[in-house]
Structure 1
Amino acid sequence: MAAAPGRGGIHRDGRAAYLFLAPALLFFCVFLVLPFLFAVVLAFSDWGGFDLGTIEFAGVSNFADVLRFDGSFVRPILVNTLLFAVGSVTLATFGSVLVAYCIDRLSFQGFWRVLYFLPVVATVVAIGNVWKMMYQPAGLINGVLNKLGVNSIGFLSDSSYALPAVTVVHAWASIGGAVLILTAGLKAIPEMYYEAAEVDGANSWRMFWQITLPLLRPSLLFVLITQFIGGLQSFALIIVMTTDGGPVNSTNVAAFEMYQQAFKFGAWGTASAMAMVLFVIILAITLLQLWIARRRGEETS
């Protein structure tokens, strides 16, 4: 029988573990913890973004300006952000579930997964510019509509269509990553459940609704949370596909407004206050999703 390691050996193993973790912990502190703490300080300060000695304490005035109901951040920027996130999450989730379910029943599954994952590894600038050309009055989409007898639509020039148009692009670009997660979740479902349901005479829709979706809940929850966080933080597509969040501020979202306040107007305190508000919203929505999922899991168990 092997002797148990002594106390000195345990301490040596602990020091070795911390030594190996040190680079990751250092990276985490320098690039995540310290910037977050600095953003919290700036949220209660006035700073132009150049000299650290000019930071002046402003109290909660930045938050008061940001959260004014008649201000531009709450309406329409925060409303646009929530609409953009909800729309992209809905489209991406339904699309990824459908695609993953189909891929799971096709041959050459690796090829199809790679094909749908390509938009994830493509740059946002490339994706935005390609779709921007497709949305043009003389672009591919309007060309198809004209062939069907529908007049050209100003997808990016009409305030009624601009936000939905960008939302569709974001959802399309997000499907690939969700498909990989959901296909892995589908592979983890034991085949015996489907065989037993088939023996009982269940059709494909009944098996999908009563077997696939309940057992896919952990993967779906992860996809919903990550997609929603990505939707609330997204702003690169807005920069590429629109002109300063236009037309008429219809595509201006919270992350893009933070970028403008900090780098265009030099209002770093206002931008940091917006970031803190968005952080609280993301945290609250994430906790709500986890609570709903846990409650449904308890009800079905």
Structure 2
Amino acid sequence: MALADGGPVRAARRRQTALAYLFLAPALLFFAVFLALPLLFAVLLAQSRWAGFDLGAIEPVGMANFTDLFARGSTFLTPVLTNTLLYALGTVAIALAGALLVSHCINQLRFQGFWRTLYFLPLVTTVVAVGNVWKYMYEPGGLVNGLLNGLGLDSVAFLQSPGTALPSIVVVQAWASVGTAILILTAGLKSIPEVYYEAAELDGAGRRTLFRRITLPLLRPSLLFVCLTQFITGLQSFALINVMTGEGGPGDATNVAALEMYQQAFRYGDWGIAAAASFVLFLVISVVTVVQLWLFRRKGGES
């Protein structure tokens, strides 16, 4: 009897599988058109010379684009890639420290939802608006210099000086992204059982000990998520720098990898170099992600 029922069962399973693929077809088509095909085309361009538009003008050059990126006299490694890493590192350091402090304070206050919403507001504002507002605030006659003058300090050429341009934009990026980190960290703080704090307080632990021995270790998964997402966002940043400095100026002081790729492709018409730079950036993001995961897991094992 079981053998007789095997045929209809297999046929029903085949129909269910076909129906499942039918429902998945729109998503698979979207993936193929907007992800898989562009990725394959980028692999082709990374090994070619192409000025755009005419597909028949694609000229294979092998690994020449990658060697050109790191050749003597190229600006990709220094300052472009260096700026990218410094930008991402500065953004993560400021945003994480600020979010951790604010989240810990919010966790002690009433109306926590209001405070979380207040810090989340910059995220619903477009990057163009944020960049332009801060750009005018950084002007010699802007709000920031007005405050410095009011304190008896000289004006600072925030976006006009190579030494201050990149740190100035790092502050803006950290300010704009701190809301997400606060939401994640406050959720992580809420998930820590109060019984741990009560037991430690009974043993005479102070606030610093509670924070160092209980809060930080149990908050490690949230901290890891914030570090990874903020670092990847910083490495891929483009719009804010483009709005505030135009072409990564002054000079190449604020030029980062994503902006360099945009300029190589749309300004200089060298799509091969732009595609090769994108794969280098992908490799950097992968390495940074693996290193962060290893560090957090190692610290977790030691604790």
User: 1:201 offset after TM fit, Å?
Assistant: 1.5
User: 1:112 offset after TM fit, Å?
Assistant: 1.0
Letter in 2 for 1:132: K
User: 1:21 offset after TM fit, Å?
Assistant: 3.6
User: 1:297 offset after TM fit, Å?
Assistant: 2.0
Q: 2:234: which partner in 1?
A: 231
Letter in 2 for 1:283: S
1:181 aligns with 2:175: no
Which residue, 148, 151, 171 being the options, matches 2:154?
151
Q: 1:298: which partner in 2?
A: 301
Could you tell me whether the CA contact under 8 Å between 1:119 and 1:176 is conserved in 2? yes
Could you tell me whether the CA contact under 8 Å between 1:68 and 1:74 is conserved in 2? no
User: 1:19 offset after TM fit, Å?
Assistant: 4.0
User: 1:10 offset after TM fit, Å?
Assistant: 5.2
1:111 aligns with 2:122: no
Q: Residues 185, 69 of structure 1: CA spacing in aligned structure 2 closer, same or farther, 3 A cutoff?
A: farther
User: 1:7 offset after TM fit, Å?
Assistant: 5.4
Q: Unpaired segments of 5 or more residues in structure 1?
A: 1-5
Helix, strand or coil: the match of 1:161? helix
Helix, strand or coil: the match of 2:163? coil
1:87 aligns with 2:90: yes
The alignment yields a C-alpha RMSD, in angstroms, of 1.7
Q: Residues 187, 163 of structure 1: CA spacing in aligned structure 2 closer, same or farther, 3 A cutoff?
A: same
Aligned pairs for 1:5-44 (under 5 A) are 11=14, 13-44=16-47
Paired residues, number: 296
User: 1:9 offset after TM fit, Å?
Assistant: 5.6
Q: How far apart in 2 are the matches of 1:150 and 1:91?
A: 24
Letter in 1 for 2:88: A
Q: How far apart in 1 are the matches of 2:34 and 2:189?
A: 36
Letter in 2 for 1:204: R
Q: How far apart in 1 are the matches of 2:194 and 2:27?
A: 40
Q: Residues 203, 14 of structure 1: CA spacing in aligned structure 2 closer, same or farther, 3 A cutoff?
A: farther
Which residue, 255, 258, 261 being the options, matches 1:255?
258
TM-score, with length taken from structure 2: 0.93
Helix, strand or coil: the match of 2:162? coil
Q: Output one character per residue of 1:153-191: Cα deviation in whole Å (capped at 9) or x when no partner.
A: 000011110000001000111101111111111111111
User: 1:13 offset after TM fit, Å?
Assistant: 4.9
User: 1:299 offset after TM fit, Å?
Assistant: 2.4
1:72 aligns with 2:70: no
Could you tell me whether the CA contact under 8 Å between 1:69 and 1:75 is conserved in 2? no
Which residue, 142, 145, 156 being the options, matches 1:142?
145
Could you tell me whether the CA contact under 8 Å between 1:77 and 1:252 is conserved in 2? yes
Letter in 1 for 2:286: L
User: 1:14 offset after TM fit, Å?
Assistant: 4.5
Q: 1:101: which partner in 2?
A: 104
Q: 2:168: which partner in 1?
A: 165
TM-score, with length taken from structure 1: 0.94
User: 1:28 offset after TM fit, Å?
Assistant: 2.5
Q: Output one character per residue of 1:249-301: Cα deviation in whole Å (capped at 9) or x when no partner.
A: 1011110010000011110000000001111010011011111222222222x
Q: How far apart in 2 are the matches of 1:191 and 1:158?
A: 49
Q: How far apart in 1 are the matches of 2:16 and 2:185?
A: 38
Q: How far apart in 1 are the matches of 2:162 and 2:62?
A: 36
Could you tell me whether the CA contact under 8 Å between 1:118 and 1:176 is conserved in 2? yes
Letter in 2 for 1:58: V
Q: Residues 25, 132 of structure 1: CA spacing in aligned structure 2 closer, same or farther, 3 A cutoff?
A: same
Q: How far apart in 1 are the matches of 2:139 and 2:250?
A: 15
Q: Residues 23, 105 of structure 1: CA spacing in aligned structure 2 closer, same or farther, 3 A cutoff?
A: farther
Letter in 1 for 2:86: L
